[in-house]
Amino acid sequence: MVGSVPVGGGAPITVQSMTTTKTADVEGTLAQIYALKAAGADIVRCTCNEKEAAEGLAQIVPRSPVPIVADIHFHVEMALAALEAGVDCLRLNPGNLRKAEEIRLVARECKDRGVPVRIGVNAGSLDPRLMKKYGGATPEALVESAQVELGLFAEEGFDNVKISVKASNVPLMIEAYRQLSEVTDHPLHLGVTEAGPPPAGTIKSTAGIATLLCEGIGDTIRYSLTTDPVEEAKAGRVLLEALGLRKRTSVDLIACPACGRAEIDVYKVAQEAQAALENRQIPLQVAVMGCVVNGPGEARSADLGIAAGRHRGHLFIRGEIVRVVPEDEMVAALVDEAEKLVAEGFEARLAAADKTAATEAEADRLALLDHRGADANGSQARVDLIAKRLNSQPGASTEP
């Protein structure tokens, strides 16, 4: 338990992030913690690297909406001070806090207070002795680092621990967690450290974290991105919702990639819809489709969607057209219908559908097909060309 949040043991996978403010700045740090909570963070880590930071934590912890983890690197005194501040968990880096007697002291203090510890192994700060033994930051070296720390904790009868073995190299990170999962039942904290700025950092983090989650490895996650940490929390939340590992609490906007059939600027409308919906508590899948020829059918699985055609927007609920609106009202209509769906439910909104909307939408679809041709992509011409080429080959035959 990290405060009131369970980690491991079949509990829902949680999202973590870390503040970038100076912890001594109590009001600034709390403002960021609240923003992280709103974006989907379940647990937040703050650095405790100096006396002023520890004093700040004493004021932050009782006012925080989520459990607080204190990040400890070089000084055991900071770990003890963070415990006095009332933090919900400590993160210790075995590569930077190496004295066995100090580690045992922290273990005893945490055991007495019922405070868990994350053993945070990092490929970039591995103990030089392990680097020499393995010839570098290998998966085996990362796992042994965690096991050495676990051994020191065990000597004090302390096992309230979760573990991370992070690396900025994605294949290295994946293999380290795979090996670790084979030798321990402690909860695992997943992350690709120093992933960098989006979009590359987001892709690297997703590649590593999602791979392991799909293998059943991992209990809590953090995206380590060079950007506003709110983006880390958002990315973590979206990943878990996309994998079906977390109940949807926000909009999942899907959109066609656009093509020659598109009747609107799909990119613009999709971005406007995303901006309008993302901060609302709307747990729906919403589709933005560029044309009515295939749009409602292709997005039939979406809870709600809109497709453009002949300067109008065709609003549909689970594939059924319920309203036709002017093109410049498409986004507003989406937001309005989304809020009504959440408040009233699907049956009520389908019952309230404009009965003429489906007829109008079908007329628009047929008109577009007529304008562009039923074979808009020229498929039949290609079929005829293939037949002609094959029949012209020596010895060609249509016989089986």
pLDDT tens digits for range 341-367: 999 999 999 999 887 766 666 666 666
pLDDT of residue 62: 97
The closest of 79, 95, 97 to 193, measured between CA atoms, is 95
Encode burial over 5-43: b for 16+ CB neighbours within 10 A, e otherwise: bbbbeeeebbbbbbbebbbbbbeebbebbbbbbebbbbb
DSSP, collapsed to helix, strand or coil, labels residue 63 as helix
pLDDT of residue 5: 97
User: In the chain, which stretches have pLDDT less than 50?
Assistant: 400
C-alpha–C-alpha distance, residues 20 and 28, integer Å: 10
Question: What are the structural domain ranges in the chain?
Answer: 14-242, 252-372
Torsions phi, psi for 34 (to 5 deg): -65, -35
Do domains 14-242 and 252-372 share one topology? The answer is no
Domain 14-242 maps to which CATH number in 3.40.50.300, 3.20.20.20, 1.10.10.10, 3.40.50.410?
A: 3.20.20.20
Cα atoms in the Cβ-side hemisphere of radius 13 Å centred on 63: 14
* C-alpha distances in Å from residue 55, one per residue of 22, 58, 59, 204, 257: 12, 5, 7, 36, 51
Q: Are strands 304-309 and 312-317 parallel, antiparallel or unpaired?
A: antiparallel
pLDDT tens digits for range 203-227: 999 999 999 999 999 999 999 999 9
Provide the total of helices (H) and of strands (E) in the chain, helices listed first: 15, 13
Domain 252-372 maps to which CATH number in 3.30.413.10, 3.40.50.720, 3.30.565.10, 2.10.109.10?
A: 3.30.413.10
pLDDT of residue 96: 82
